[in-house]
Each structure stands twice: as C-alpha cells, then as structure tokens.
Structure 1
Amino acid sequence: MRTGLVVLALVSGQSALANEIIIDGKLDEPQWQTATIYQDFYQVVPATLTKTQSKVEGRALATEEGLYIGFKNWQKHGERKKQYNLQDAFMQADFNRFVIDFSGDGSGAYIFAVTLGGGIQDAVLTPQLSSDYDWDGIWQSAFFEHADYWSSEVFIPWHSVSFKPNLNERGLAEVGVSLQLYELASNHIYGSQPQTTGNSDFYLNMPKIAANIPKKQQWGIVPYITHQHDFVGDNNQTDLGFDLVYKPDHHQKLSVAVNPDFGQVDSDELDLNYSTVETLVTDKRPFFTQDIGVMNVNAEQNTKLIHTRRIGAGSDDGQKVITPIDAAMRFVHQGESWQFAGFAALEDSLDSDAGKDFYVGRARYRENNWQSGLLLTQTDRPWLDRQAKTAAWDSQYQSETWSWQTALLGSDVSERNQQTQGYGFSANINYQFDANTSLKGRFLRLDDQFDNNDLGYRQRNNWRFNELYYSQSVNYDSGFINRIQHNFQLNYESNDKGLKLPATQSYWASFILDNGSSFDTAFDYQTSGWDDLIGAGQGRYENRDLLRSWFFYGSPYTGSFSWAASFRLDQEGIDGLAQQYAVDMTWMPHENWSVKFNNFYRQGDGMVIASGPSQVTEYDRRLFHNYINVSGLLSDKLELSMIVQWAILDADTKTVYDISQNHLNPLSGIDNSFTDQRFTSQIKLRYRLGAYSDIYLVYNRGAMQFDQEVGSKEWLSELNSMWQQRDQDQLTLKVRYLF
C-alpha cells in the first residue's frame, strides 16, 4: 500500500500529451506508463485485510487538465458480470469505485463508480463519511474487455468540483485517491487501502498523489427550455431559463440562476404515509446538489436545517402545489483553513404574496483532524407574516480510533407578533476497535419550541433520543459462509419533559455466503411508552410492548436473473398482529437491458391512525405496493426507462378510541374505514449530449382515488379505472446544454 505521498513527474509537454488520451477503456496510450501504479489491494469486504496483487491494478495520472484513473481487473470471461445501469441506479455488475479527496485534507470528497457494462454512479462524501448520490458531476468514463481482464478508464476535470488545493513544500497539490474493485460473484470488495468509508479513519489513511493544478478561470452557462402539454387541463406551458457558473479559481464558485432549471424530470416514489412523521424525500434538482458538502450539517435522526425540497414547494395560500422560483444564487469559497458559503432562493411572490424567500450562510474552520463551523438560515413568508431563523454550531474530530460529531441547534420564529425560541443538541461518538468492530453512541435533544420546518426537516420536536450501537463482523477464509455481521442496538426515548416514549431494542445479523448470496435476520423489542403525538396532538396513551421479527434472502447477483424475498411477523398497534411479504425480481435479458419487478404486501389488524382530535382508530388493513421498471439503451447515447407504480391501502375500522385522561376508551357506532389507491407511470427518453447536456422526452400519467367503501370493488378494476380517469397526464420536452 502506498500510504505516503507519491510525486508525479510532470515533464514539459506532458499536458499536451495528456490531451491525446482517448477515454475508451483500453489504457494503451504511452502516458499511462508515467502514472502512479497501485498493485497492492486489500480485501476490505469481508474485512480480512488479506493483501493481493492478482485481483486488480489501479493507476492515477494527474495532468494540468484533470485526473485520469485507470483499472485493470483480472477476471476472465465467464467469471465476470457485464450489465448496464442508468446513472446512479443499482449496479448489478462488476464495477470499479474510487474516492477522490481533491483537497487531500478530509474536508470532503467525491465518489465515482464505473461498471463493466457502462453504468455510472457519482456522489458527495461528506467529512462525516456520509454519502449523497443526488450529486451529478462532470466526468468521462469507458470500459473495455480483454480475454483475461477488463479495464476501465476515467477522466475528471479539475473544474468539475470546488476545492482548495493543499500544496506541499514543492508547490504541488496533494490529492487523496482510494481505489476499489467490487467482485459481484463473491460480494467481495478489494481496496487500495485497508479501510472503507465505513471506517472512521478512512480519510486519515487515504493514499496521496501530487499534482500540478494550475490556477484557471472557468465560465459555464446552462440554458434550458421546457415545454409541457397537460392533457387533463388541455393547456401548454413553456419555460426558459439558465444557470450561470463563474469560477475565479478552483476554490471559488459563484452560481446564478434566472428562472432556474428546478424542474425534476423523474417523479417521486408513491408514498402512503399515515404516520405522524413526514417522509424525507431527497432532492435531485441540479442547483441544490452542487457544493452540498460545504453546506452540510449532520444531526441525528435526519434532523436538517437545510431540506431543499421546501424551496419551490406549495405556496402558503394553498393555491400552488409547486411555486415558481424567480432566481437563485450560491457562492462558495474554500480557503486553506476557512470555508465560506451562502445561497439565496427567491420564489415568485404570486398575486397573494404567498411566495417565500430563503437565505443561508455558512462558515467553517478546519485544522488537521478537527473542524468547526456555523450555519445560519432565514426564511421569509410574507403571506403568513412569518420569519423563521435557525442556527447550528457543529464540530467534528477524527483519529485512528475515535470520531465524534456534535451540533448545537437553535430556532427563532416570529409569526404575527408572536415569537418562539427553541434549541437542540446532537452528538455522535464512535470508537473503532478494529476494521471489524465498532461501538457508537448517538444522542439528540430537541425542546418543544424548536422549529426548523420552514427550511429544514425533523421527525419531531419535544424529543430526547439515546442510542448505543455495537457492530462486529466475523470473517471466514473458506466454507459456506464468508462473513457474519452482528449488530446490537439499545435505545431509550422520552419527550423533553422526561415522559417515556416507545423505544426499539434490536439484534440484526447479516450473512454473506460463499456463492455470493446473502441472508439477514432481525429481532426487535419495542418497549412500552407513551404516544404523545398520534391523537392529533391533543392526547396521549401508553403503548404496550411489541415484538417483531424479519427474515431476508438475496440470491447471487450473477446470471440473467436474480431475486430477493423477505418476511416479517410483527406485533403492532394496540392489540394487533401483522404479516409482511416482499419479493424483488430482476431479469436481465441483455447486457444493456434490465426488468425489475418488486412487490410488497402487508396485512394486519393493528394500524393506528389519528382520526380526529383526541381520537384514534385501529384498522384491519391490507397494503399492497407494486413497482415495475424497464430500463436500458436504445443506442450508445439514447436511454429508455419505463416505470409503473401502484399502491393500494384497504383500511377497515376495527375499533375507534377516544383518548380521555390518558386512557383509550372504545367508541361504538363509528366507521372510519377507507381505501386509498394511487397509481403513477412514466416513460422517459434521454439523449445524452454531454455533461449537463441532455434532451428529455417524458410522459407521465397517474391518478389517486379515495373511497370510504372498503372492499366494494376489485383492485384490478380500480387500477383500470384510475388509468382511464387520470389526475395527471402530461408530456414534457426538456432540453439543456452546457456551454
């Protein structure tokens, strides 16, 4: 392993030669002979850390234009799996993955992956080692098959990301480069360093190369046009806009958007959520996926001060489901120790002044293995006469064995001359005994006045969450099982006044089998506690203890067909029992095409929903969710994907309860039964012109039906009815091009 600094010899004229490298996957240009070569790889999953030189060879070549990465994977025909996947989709093929820390100091990194078959993934890796795959970067990749091995080749321009070069005494920038091969047949991963991103010391032990990165200004403009025809309303809408990017240098970037390209082509998954916790949905809109590592503040239980799906969401007067956005701006400066960033997004005020304005500022200081920063947000909502401010002071430390992250949170909300202030605190402390064993403690406290929902996300406030999590893996060199991972989780929860809430204690075991298949099992014990939210916020009652079990099997991923199945048996609700079945199947009739057919079914008599003030209903329900996806290549640059989703919830009233004096009192003569059915479909053609340059043609059709007569109609007939009497039926043409 090359854990030290490797200096690349950048001879005169090499930059010009590097321009002649053709990204075709062959690695046959003479320039590759001057690259840094990685020959020692370690088995990091399962983490036996066995060193090998017979699986993969990696190469890294830095030029003035960018970074070239090459792999040679020693897998013969018949031992490798070749399959294409859409960008950021699940990769069911052998693939190379690599992590690049452009600053070389652990302040953030980027993940890239290339499959044998041409599929790609890219993501942001935060300083806390969490990943966000909504980010899309500017880079090129290709693969090539030989008799005894296959190779992949990648080029990443320096201007594709924002970073501050970390210069050594020779004036060269140190860049962290970590390489991996994922071997599909065995579910093994081999890395150029004996750590993965699941290890707290990953950044500390990242191999470094040195590169001559010249200062360079960069301009970019991405104009776009979207034309949409709505067949339901029989109307047309055309939008024009552009995103403008200016980079004075690699560590600074200014982005300005006018009527920005905030349209998200892909529809969200169907969500039948009747719980008291809002579903957290990620954001794939281009403006918000850039430079998110600088803005990021990690707090426990997905608590966020910035949840960008709030921007452009429904207007405050309820008249707009999607509020147009007039303009947005973002600035990032990354110095040697200090980082500064900020953005503003201004929605259309509309005739009723129901639009919103959002402002964010961020400052962060980094020194060796420690960093600390401040995040401030402000949301102005004139229609509500409301102004909401939040703040977070977060810190992080990493060593070979210890890592911790803390965040002190605050909110200040003023609405119609009424002001409330709240606070919160989050902590995550991890001790890594070795590559296979770790102990983690998590803590979150939000008082009952903490309110970050104008721009952020939280599961709830008035909450104290405590968790102790232990994980240990046992690896076997040969035999039926390659690895067993044991996970223990102990929780205690209460509201901020000390009232005990239900909390889950868990044991989960994961088995990787020698043939590449996997088996998981989990057992949960939920302790009794008070539910203080479900009665429409006006009542509470004490839950009983609950036992739950889960079993999962996943077949080997090799071959043209794979499948996975799971079964749950759960106690639930007030006195109910539920069974849950799931089957996922993938058929790959061709290396460029895949068909996914996923089904989920849950039945039981313990679903509890707030049905009115101080009233809850326990239902006997059936829930079915079906997902079909067909995707692949029509030509080298033309992708086709077709998605059909259908969900149905039959909820038949079992018992209605009134919550009085913290007790459940059964009521008679009340029927709150309902059926909720939702259907959506999408056909998408994408012609790839280049980075951030595409032509999309998308057809969406969907419907929703809500009925109080449970079981009066057949499910399939209802699906046909929703197809005919659709709520959504539109065709969208979208063109964007990066200049």
Structure 2
Amino acid sequence: MDGVLDEPEWQSAQSYSNFVTTEPLTSEPAKYHTEALVYTNAEGIYVGFRNAQPAEAKRVQRRFARDAFILADRNIVGIDFDGSGLSGYDFTVGAANTRQDGIYNNEKNYSGDWDGNWTSQTSQDEEYWYVEMYIPWTVAPMTNPEGAQKQMKFYFGRYVFDESLRFAWPNASAARPTFLSDWAPVSVDHVATSTLDLFPYVSAEQDLEENDGEVRAGVDVVWRPNTATQFTGTINPDFGQVEADDLVLNFSALEVFFAERRPFFTENQALFRSEVPNGDRLVHTRRIGAASDAGDEPVTDIDLGAKLSHFGERLDLGFFAVTEDDTAASEGRDYLSTRIQARLGDAVVGHSLTYADRSTLSRKALVNSLDLDWQSAGEHRVRGQLFYSDVEQEANEVNENTAFNQSDGGGWGQWSYAPNDEWRSNLTGYYYGDEFEMNDLGFLTRNDWMRVAADVRHDVNSYAPSSNQLSGWYSAKLSYEENNAGDTLMQGLDLQRQWVLRSTREFSLQVHLETSAYDDLITRGNGLLKRDAQQSFSFSYLNPRGNDFTFQLQYVAETKGTDKFSHEFIISPQYYLADTVTVGGRVSYTWFEEWLLWDFDSEQLATYESEVLDIDLRLDWFPTSRQEVRVKLQWLGVESDALQGYGLDDNGRLDPSSRPVADFKLSDVALQVRYRYEIAPLSEVFLVYNRGGFWDENDAGVSPWGLAENAWNNVTQQTITAKIRYRF
C-alpha cells in the first residue's frame, strides 16, 4: 500500500468514472475527472482513486486525527456488504492519508463510533492525486450468498474542499431520503472467511493528587466463524480517559447526551442502534460502567461483555450482554439487549428488547420495541417505532424506600416525501406515556409528552454562471408539544435560510418563534410556569474554507423564560500553521439580562443577570503519519448576580417572592495532553495527562480570569495514563 496505482492488478480492476456533481445537487458531470477502481481477491477489497486536480485548483491536504472530520480534499467509499439498503460502511481518506470511518443506518443516519481494520495510502503528481485502500473481507459481518458471486452495493465520492464541490458515482446524495438505496449494485467473487482477533491491553494510571497508582489488564476478542456471524467479547475492559468529553453547562431539567467512545461498545454495534429522530435511543451504552447506584464510585468496572450478531438473507439476529463488578457499597448491574429484524419486500420490520437488573436499587427494567421502515418508489418513506416499558422496584434504603411497579408505552412515526431534489418534507409525531421509562439502558429526554411537527425544505441547487451563489436552501417548520394533561408546552415556527457562495463563504439565518406556553419541568415538580412568548434569532458566517486561517462567526439572541433577550457571540477560529499543525477552538460569550433558573437553595424560581464564558482551545500536531499529539484546554466560567426570586400565582405566572436569592459564581476547567502512536491498524499506544478543576463560591471580588485561576488551583483530578492495545 503505497498510494501509487502501478500494480498490474489495477489493469484488470473494475473502473467507474462517470462521476456527477452532488454538492450542489445538480447531477451535472463532475468538474474534475475522477476514476474509482475496484479489485477483489481472497484477502479483501482494494479501491483506488485517480483524482484530476490541475495546479490552478488548490489542493487542501491537511492532516487530522483518526476519525476526526476531514476538512480537506478527500475520497469516500461506501459499501453495503449485503446490498440490502439497511446499513452502509463508510471509508474516507483525506489527501494527506487521514482516515475516517463510520456506519450509515436508516438511509442517511451516520455514526462515526465504529472503527474498522483497514488501511490506505496516498500519493500525488502535478496533475493528479491518488488514493489506494485495502479493506479486508473480515472488516464487517455480511451474509453468505448461495452462489459464487456476491451482490454488494458501492458508493464512491470525492470532495474538492476549496471549492465546496462533491462528486459521486452513482448519482447518490445524503441529501436524498434514498441515499443508501441509490448505491450501485456490484457483483464480486464471494470469499468465505473466518478470523479470530485478540486485543489484549495493559494500562497504568497514576493519580497525582492521591499519590496512588493502578495497573489494569484485559482482553477483547473478535471471532468471525464465517462471514455472516460475529462474536465480540471482553474481559475486564479498560475504559480510561484517553478521549475526554467536553465540559457542558447545563442548568436545565434535561439530561445531556454524551457519545460513546469505548472500543467494545462501538465495535459491531450497528445492529443494536435504535435512534429516535429527536435524539432518544433505546440502547445508550454510556449507562454501562457509569457511576454506581450507591453513589460510592464515579465509574463502575465491567467484568464481562459479549455481543453476537448474525446476518441472513432475510433475517438478522443480535444478542448483547454485559455484567459489572461490585463496588464497596453497590452491586454491579447486569444488562441485556436482543435484536431481530426481517426484510419483507420494501419494508424492514424489527423487534428489540432491553433489560437492566440494578440489584442495589432492587430495580428491574424491561423495554420492548417494534419498528417499521417502509419505502416506496423513492418518494415516500414511512418509519415508526412502538415502545412498552415495565419497571419493578422494591423498597430499600438506597432507593429511599421507594417501591413501584409501573408499565407504560410510547412511540413515534414519520412520513417523508421527496418528489425531487429541490423539495422534501416530513410529518413526525411522538407520544410517551406518563410512566414510560427506558433510561435504565436507553436515553429518554422526557416522558409525559406529545409532539407533532411538520417541516418543508426547498433547495436551490443551480444558479446562473454569472451569479456569485453556488447553492442554498430555505426551510420552514411548525411544531406543537403538550404533556398528557393537555398543557401546551410549545407551539412554534422555525424559519431558516442558508447561502453558499462560489467563494465557499457561507451565511445562514434562523428565526424561531413560540407562542405563550407552559413549562412543566423548570420548577422540578413545583407547579406549571406560564411563559411569555419566546423568540430566537441567529446568524452565522463562515469565511472561505480553503484558507490557512478560517473562522466561523455566530450571533444568537433569544429569550430565556422571560421577555428579556440574552446575547451570545461565538467565534470558532482555525489556523493551519502547516498541513500537520493546527491550532484553534471555540470562544463563546453570553450575556443574560434576565436568566430564569430554578434555585435549589431557596427552592424557587429566580432571575439572574449573568455572564457566561466558554473557551475551548486545541492544538493538533502530527509529527509523522503514525504519531499524534493533541492538547485540549476548556474553561467554563459563570458569574451571576441575583435579581429576584419568584413563586407562581394561580395562573402559573411569575409572582415576586420575598425570599432572598444569592449570587453565584462557578468555574470548571479541564486540560488533556495526549500522545498517540499507531503501531498498526487498531493497535495503539497512548500516553495521556488529564487535569480538572472546579470552583463554586460567591466571591464578589473575583475577576473573570480569577475564576479560571481558582478552578485551576482547586484540582479535582490529575492523572497520567499509559496504555497499549495490540491486535493479534
């Protein structure tokens, strides 16, 4: 694999060169000649690209971390190994040989959690740049065909970053609801394979604050007895922080979603993904290994985990189970999930089950789900899912002697209509019962909720050659929400407009309007707040993307529970010092004239005049193609001066209270310095330094930078971690 397509095998490879423009979605012949080559043998699939790009067309060849979004020229290969349209695997290579992979589900829902065992290399000359990729047959489970030939579906893409142009063969676009279905069928010789891969690891962590250390060892196992079946197991997995979550400021009553980063839970997980359009999930693996139910440990060790999946011609099956270790005061939890799905003509129907046994809380939770995905003639698509939860809990000291046995249901449905590339629309409805619950293993934003939304979007994909516009779109959305008592929670209108210029500058404008409605969560169960009408206005600008210095500017003005506007200013700069060195981040400043929050100390609503500063600074350096140094520093600072406490009158309106409300200040800081060395695909060495600090006091004399200093000095975590994971 040298990125030079001079091997004799490429002379007999299948060739595809009729690329068309899919961004903007004009379907016109590609501006620059692009050829994709496919060659298969007993080892796997080899894909080559020849990308014409003359000297006058700027090549953007920046290097990025593995699985980071590649803001550079790149080639994309999509493979639906079964040709079913259910899932497609994405293999993306940047011009500097940066690799990214992921999985498409339900036509165009993309997840970058998956990491596959494949490799690539790039090269270039004056007129072309080239990509050479090797994808083993064992990279993903797939069905066994009856004959010697296997029918797959392929998608080949190319992105010219400096001109914001995307080319593809066949004429498939993620902007269409038929993205996966539009991939082209390709027949290849079927190769029966079986593999056994072992991923042992050893990690050592030194806690610099407690002067304490820990050494851990374990192993992951991936066994494919045949191409259609895969078993993934783990013993004593290590989930140390080699990838830090972002700091998040959340004063709402809703949980924040964090993506999965741990290898065992991202490998071979596609069959168990069950996402609701609003972001809810039937299976949310971040629940596993989380803080113990007794609250004595921030994380819980995992003893064993296993996943089994089998893909048939018409029927797919999956099984997933994990058991946790006990802590000093808490018994480990047990989790189980199953999946079965069948292809029936133009429809896919499935059943999923999740089960959680939380012995410390004397709690058992079972959720069943039925789902449907039907598509006809490319224009109409109907999707939906029905849920039923059954949760039993016996009283004990840990759960505050709370016993219950509750069952309830919920579901969602969506009809999509896309008659052409310029118009698309959706009608979506949700209903969750009062006692519906799937947070023991899933992610549920809230229950006791109903929503109906209708949206329409018009894309303008072609402008006159004399126009400075490249593409753009308009959209409008109407939404209505209420709880099951019939209280209106939201009825609103969203309007959006985006312009993309030929210079690749981008502008966007968004307006959100809501009528007066109730908020049944902000008081934490202490009554319904009747809100005034709410508004939000936002504007953003992105400068030409191919420059060495790029930035995005955003301004957001919105009301936060009262009729007073908050003002947020955001700048996201990136400076490419070289193709291998990038510094940048995001700085956000928000001023609240009247921020309405729940004050837990005085048990009432309160308003604050507040300033919030969120700074996220990053440096990425790639000394070689196998080495990566990343520095990530984030600081959140909040300074709030109390204005007034409030109760609620008989109509749910704010009623000034005589109970005092205190000012508050908080500061949260996190630093991670990480070195990564890739020994081979999926074999890595990490050396990581983590430091975190938090400060929360009412000190009227502290300056904004004093807030940062106080958090930095009040260390809550400081560790050094070394880890090696190797694939045999």
What range describes the TM-score normalised by the shorter chain of this pair? over 0.9
> Which segment drifts farther, 52-61 or 206-215?
52-61
> Which segment drifts farther, 104-113 or 696-705?
104-113
Matched ranges for 1:8-407 at <5 A: 23-52=1-30, 54-78=32-56, 79-166=58-145, 171-399=148-376, 400-407=378-385
- 1:424 partner SS: strand
Query: What is residue 425 of structure 2 aligned with on the other side?
Result: 439
Separation in 1, partners of 2:437, 2:215: 37
Equivalent residue letter for 1:361: T
Query: What is residue 508 of structure 1 aligned with on the other side?
Result: 496
Equivalent residue letter for 1:630: L
Query: What is residue 666 of structure 1 aligned with on the other side?
Result: 656
Query: What is residue 695 of structure 1 aligned with on the other side?
Result: 685
How far is 1:50 from its partner? 0.6
How far is 1:477 from its partner? 4.3
Separation in 1, partners of 2:234, 2:177: 37
Query: What is residue 724 of structure 2 aligned with on the other side?
Result: 735
Among candidates 486, 508, 516, match of residue 520 of structure 1: 508
How far is 1:204 from its partner? 2.4
Alignment partner of 1:540 is 2:518: no
Separation in 1, partners of 2:625, 2:160: 25
Query: What is residue 7 of structure 1 aligned with on the other side?
Result: none
Separation in 2, partners of 1:221, 1:252: 17
- 2:715 partner SS: coil
Contact 2:693 2:715 in 1 (8 A): yes
Among candidates 665, 680, 687, match of residue 675 of structure 1: 665
- 1:727 partner SS: strand
Contact 2:296 2:330 in 1 (8 A): no
Q: How many pairs were matched up?
A: 714
Query: What is residue 622 of structure 1 aligned with on the other side?
Result: 611
Alignment partner of 1:411 is 2:378: no
Separation in 2, partners of 1:34, 1:262: 45
- Scaled by the length of structure 2, what TM-score is found? 0.96
Query: What is residue 400 of structure 2 aligned with on the other side?
Result: none
Separation in 1, partners of 2:145, 2:469: 44
Separation in 2, partners of 1:327, 1:177: 36
Separation in 1, partners of 2:244, 2:717: 12
Separation in 2, partners of 1:452, 1:717: 42
Separation in 2, partners of 1:342, 1:537: 38
How far is 1:35 from its partner? 1.3
- Please list the CA deviations of residues 435-491 of structure 1 after superposition, one character each: whole Å capped at 9, or x if unmatched: 221011111110110011111111111000111111111121422111121111110
Separation in 1, partners of 2:283, 2:547: 42
Query: What is residue 398 of structure 2 aligned with on the other side?
Result: none
Contact 1:512 1:518 in 2 (8 A): yes
- 2:419 partner SS: strand
- 1:433 partner SS: coil
How far is 1:388 from its partner? 0.7
How far is 1:669 from its partner? 4.6
Contact 1:617 1:657 in 2 (8 A): yes
How far is 1:614 from its partner? 6.5
> Which segment drifts farther, 303-312 or 197-206?
197-206
- 1:502 partner SS: strand
Contact 1:254 1:331 in 2 (8 A): yes
Contact 1:297 1:394 in 2 (8 A): no
Query: What is residue 559 of structure 1 aligned with on the other side?
Result: 547
Contact 2:481 2:489 in 1 (8 A): yes
Identity %: 26
Unpaired segments of 5 or more residues in structure 2? 395-402
Query: What is residue 399 of structure 2 aligned with on the other side?
Result: none
Separation in 1, partners of 2:321, 2:491: 39
Change (3 A) 1:533 1:721: closer
Contact 1:581 1:600 in 2 (8 A): yes
Separation in 2, partners of 1:549, 1:149: 44
Query: What is residue 472 of structure 1 aligned with on the other side?
Result: 458
Contact 2:297 2:327 in 1 (8 A): no
Separation in 2, partners of 1:162, 1:405: 25
Could you list the runs of 4 or more consecutive aligned residues of structure 1 that deviate by over 6 angstroms after TM superposition? none
- Please list the CA deviations of residues 107-158 of structure 1 after superposition, one character each: whole Å capped at 9, or x if unmatched: 2111121111121211111134201111111110111111101111111111
Query: What is residue 609 of structure 1 aligned with on the other side?
Result: 597
- Scaled by the length of structure 1, what TM-score is found? 0.94
How far is 1:498 from its partner? 1.9
Unpaired segments of 5 or more residues in structure 1? 1-22
> Which segment drifts farther, 533-542 or 652-661?
652-661
> Which segment drifts farther, 322-331 or 201-210?
201-210
Separation in 2, partners of 1:527, 1:663: 15
Contact 1:502 1:543 in 2 (8 A): no
Contact 2:173 2:179 in 1 (8 A): yes
Contact 1:226 1:733 in 2 (8 A): yes
> Which segment drifts farther, 511-520 or 119-128?
119-128
> Which segment drifts farther, 419-428 or 298-307?
298-307
Equivalent residue letter for 1:97: I
Change (3 A) 1:671 1:712: farther
